[in-house]
Amino acid sequence: MTVSAATLTPALPSPHPDRPLLKVCGLKYPANVAAVAALPVDMLGFIFAPKSPRYAPTALDAAQLRALPVAKVGVFVDEQPAVIRRTALHFGLTAVQLHGQESPADCAALAAAGLPVLKAVGVGEQLDLGRLEAYAPHCAYFVFDAAGPAAGGNGTTFNWDLLRDYDLPTPYLLAGGLGPDHAATLRALQLPGLAGFDVNSRFEQGPGLKDAARLRTFIDELRG
């Protein structure tokens, strides 16, 4: 089953030379989704891992997601590619983010079916770039997050200096515990391959409920 181009609108944004991309992940509630979608964000993330408190299908209607005028990324953890493709079609997802132990072959299969792939990579005390070489041709972006016990993200930062020697062709989003207090630091951050940022829990009033006003302030400070 191939995902048609007509289903995947708007397209996944490419890296922008003049400003960082911003993805807001873990959205769940319809009115809150609409409020965040009205902000100048590039991607919205919706979690399709059933064990997550931000599991989107419990609250969101597929028709609302399909109608959103912003790129929609579905987050999956060790799900079968066929299930991911069906879910993407049903909800009109622009791309998928794989946050488990998915293989390069899994990424290749989804990309071949017309679904751009963001592959999440947990970063601990070291980062093995050689392990990512097999993924790079099949991924639109990597998402570098802090390693930890939770497969879908742990809400903590990691040592960003580990990315100073990044030399793969795939751009990436920086994730992991990014909050309002990081805006100035992120604005000044210069790292090879860095395309933007992925925020989640530190902008929440509760799991899946984002503070749109705090996000607006953060965006203004981040992009100046």
Give the separation between CA 164 and CA 45, rounded to whole angstroms: 26
Tell me the Ramachandran region of residue 20: left when phi exceeds 0, alpha when psi lies from -120 to 50, beta otherwise. beta
Residue 108 structure tokens: 């290749």
pLDDT at 148: 66
Q: Quick one: average pLDDT of 80-84? A: 95
Q: 53, 42, 45: which is closest to 25 by C-alpha? A: 45
DSSP β-ladder status, 95-98 and 194-199: unpaired
* 116-134 confidence digits (pLDDT tens): 999 999 999 999 999 999 9
What is the sign of the dihedral through the CA atoms of 49, 38, 116 and 149? negative
Better-predicted residue by pLDDT, 151 or 34: 34
pLDDT at 149: 63
Residue 212 structure tokens: 């749109």
pLDDT at 208 over 90: yes
Burial 98-114 (b: 16+ CB within 10 A, else e): bbeebebebbbbbbebb
Residue 176 carries which side chain, given as an amino acid letter? G
Split at pLDDT 50, 70, 90, the class of 224 is: confident
Angle between helix axes 30-37 and 212-223 (nearest 10 degrees) is 20
Domain boundaries, the chain: 21-223
Residues in the chain: 224
Q: Can you identify the CATH homologous superfamily of domain 21-223?
A: Aldolase class I (3.20.20.70)
